[in-house]
Amino acid sequence: MIHEQSKPKKIVIVGGGTAGWMAANLLASTWREIDICLVESKQIGIIGVGEGSTPHLKLFFDSIGLEDAQWMPKCNATYKVGITFDKWSTKPGFGAYFHPFAAQTDDIFTLPLFYKNIQARKHGYDVNPHPDHYFLQSYLSRQNRAPLAAESFPFGMAYGYHFDSALLGNFLADYATAKGVSRIFGEVEDVLLSQQGCIEKVILNDGQHIAADFFIDCTGFDSLLMQKTLKQQFKSFKDTLFNDAAVVLPTSIASVLPVETKATALSNGWAWNIPLLNRFGNGYVYSRDYIDANQAESELRQHLDMSDSNTEARHLSMKVGRLEKHWHKNCLAVGLSQGFIEPLEATAIALSFNTIAQFIQLYQRGNFSNQFEDAFNLEINSKFDGIKDYVVCHYKANQRSDTDYWRDNASNTKISDNLNKVLQLWKHSPNFVEDMNAHKLVDSYQAKSWACMLAGYGVFPEKQANTSVDYSAYHQEMAALDDFIRRCGMNFKQHHEQLAFA
């Protein structure tokens, strides 16, 4: 058992969604000598949504030794350089903005000018602080170019993916089983605990008893082991993240393949649009306190121009929040079983990857004991809370007033102290970036991401007629920036060309 500090002989993962198979692959490639077994229920199935990623998915594939060409074609996957947020603001000139992933070109050239012009705009100067002018990825997105540069291009760029979640699950299952992970189909009906409250075995509906030294709960929103069996507390985020349901509807793919997710604000939530090789994934994430499922479906159909279509929509509930403990005794929760921040920034897979990677490191460092359990739980909670603040800010800072939903979000006073601080710094700090760093508010999202959102919404004081800004320098700098970005952009292929893996 884990308290005797010996390497476990067997680890059982319950749940075969993306989280379960990611865990299986990472564990099998790290601890080859441990018997890894995954139990999943065909009857219950997987949630089958979650088709956009952050760059963490690339880190995951790097860590199990897989290249894009080996998995992307099998999962109808495409590249992603960021997210366009459309209609979150009604301020003239700020109807949409793009939130890019990180690139080395930002730090070298474009970010200093972005920050300088934000500061000038806050002082009322008539300069353009809209983020879309400043980033190479925004340019790539407008041009539908993939984020992989020619070899001679000296700057690196982070990128994510869009993918079919069911195909990705199948691919990861095949890859893990080829590495020796054993796969059992069956539904866990009962869980036996030891006198010390550790999990001893799970009992399946066909009567099989499966014992192990350590268990990983990947049972999705059910959280069968961690919440239901080990009674770990769940902290809801409902007071700041109102959305608790989604309706999903695919559409045909267009002839031009975007490299971005689009998140369009609707009356009581927002709709995603995710390009895959063979279709667009679409969904409306909304709050049932403001709109019911039928109204949400019909608004999504209208938004997609599908009011007359017979394509069936899928309706889903979402449990938004996190566990207080993700590792407890001989059990780790990963994926939806540990918590979920609504999918606006597509962070769930990143959190799963971080959870497993961090657990592997600390479990091993503690000689397979629970020595680092508390430190681990603190760290994962702070990751969840940091991401939550950034997602909540999209709602708190929204610049719409057309429905109670948007008005209630804007007037919500239950936001965290950290988010309050960010908003205060945005308004009053003479050096937003320096102060964000000094107050340690950049652990989950860099100052650049916060600035993109707030500048992208047009959260600025009114412009003043001010003649003291040196406009000739401003115009020259903006022209040089445009030229730099355009020349950098020539190093990137069109998306469909890049996806034609030889």
Ligand X SMILES: Cc1cc2nc3c(=O)[nH]c(=O)nc-3n(C[C@H](O)[C@H](O)[C@H](O)COP(=O)(O)OP(=O)(O)OC[C@H]3O[C@@H](n4cnc5c(N)ncnc54)[C@H](O)[C@@H]3O)c2cc1C
d(CA 85, CA 452): 11
d(CA 50, CA 283): 10
223 binds ligand X (CB under 6 A): no
339 binds ligand X (CB under 6 A): no
Residue of 2, 11, 12, 14 that binds ligand X (CB under 6 A): 14
Residue 53 or 267: the one with the smaller Cβ distance to ligand X is 53
d(CA 341, CA 351): 10
Please report, in angstroms and rounded to a whole number, the separation of the first and last CA atoms in the chain.
49
Strand stretches in 44-185, DSSP E: 78-80, 82-86, 96-100, 145-149, 160-162, 182-185
Residue 24 or 336: the one with the smaller Cβ distance to ligand X is 336
The stretch among 48-56, 130-138, 249-257, 370-378 that binds ligand X (CB under 6 A) is: 48-56
Q: Over the range 365-398, which residues count as b (16 or more CB within 10 Å of their CB) and which as e?
A: ebebebebbeebbebbbebbbbbbbbbbbbbbbb
Q: Provide, rounded to whole angstroms, the least separation between the CB of residue 311 and ligand X.
A: 17
47 binds ligand X (CB under 6 A): yes
Residue of 2, 12, 13, 20 that binds ligand X (CB under 6 A): 20
331 binds ligand X (CB under 6 A): no
d(CA 356, CA 332): 9
- Which residue is catalytic, options 10, 58, 80, 414? 80
The stretch among 18-26, 208-216, 402-410, 484-492 that binds ligand X (CB under 6 A) is: 18-26
- Residue 7 is which amino acid? K
379 binds ligand X (CB under 6 A): no
52 binds ligand X (CB under 6 A): yes
Q: Catalytic site residue 80? A: yes
Tokens read off for 36: 């890894």
Strand stretches in 324-408, DSSP E: 327-328, 331-333, 339-340
The helix (run of H) or strand (run of E) holding residue 36 is: strand 35-40
Residue 76 or 110: the one with the smaller Cβ distance to ligand X is 76
The stretch among 44-52, 296-304, 433-441, 470-478 that binds ligand X (CB under 6 A) is: 44-52
Residue of 11, 246, 332, 422 that binds ligand X (CB under 6 A): 246
131 close to 451: Cβ distance less than 8 angstroms? yes
Q: Is 393 helix (H, G, I), strand (E, B) or coil?
A: helix
Strand stretches in 74-150, DSSP E: 78-80, 82-86, 96-100, 145-149
Q: Provide, rounded to whole angstroms, the least separation between the CB of residue 387 and ligand X.
A: 11
320 binds ligand X (CB under 6 A): no
Q: Provide, rounded to whole angstroms, the least separation between the CB of residue 355 and ligand X.
A: 11
Q: Is 426 helix (H, G, I), strand (E, B) or coil?
A: helix
430 binds ligand X (CB under 6 A): no
Residue of 64, 166, 293, 316 that binds ligand X (CB under 6 A): 316
Residue 190 or 482: the one with the smaller Cβ distance to ligand X is 190
268 binds ligand X (CB under 6 A): no
Strands 269-275, 96-100: parallel, antiparallel or unpaired by DSSP? unpaired
232 binds ligand X (CB under 6 A): no
Tokens read off for 115: 């920050």
250 binds ligand X (CB under 6 A): no
Q: Provide, rounded to whole angstroms, the least separation between the CB of residue 244 and ligand X.
A: 10
By CB under 6 A, name the binding residues for ligand X.
14-20, 39-41, 44-47, 49-53, 165, 187-188, 218-220, 222, 224, 246, 283, 285, 316, 318, 335-337, 343, 346, 348-349
State the catalytic residues: 80
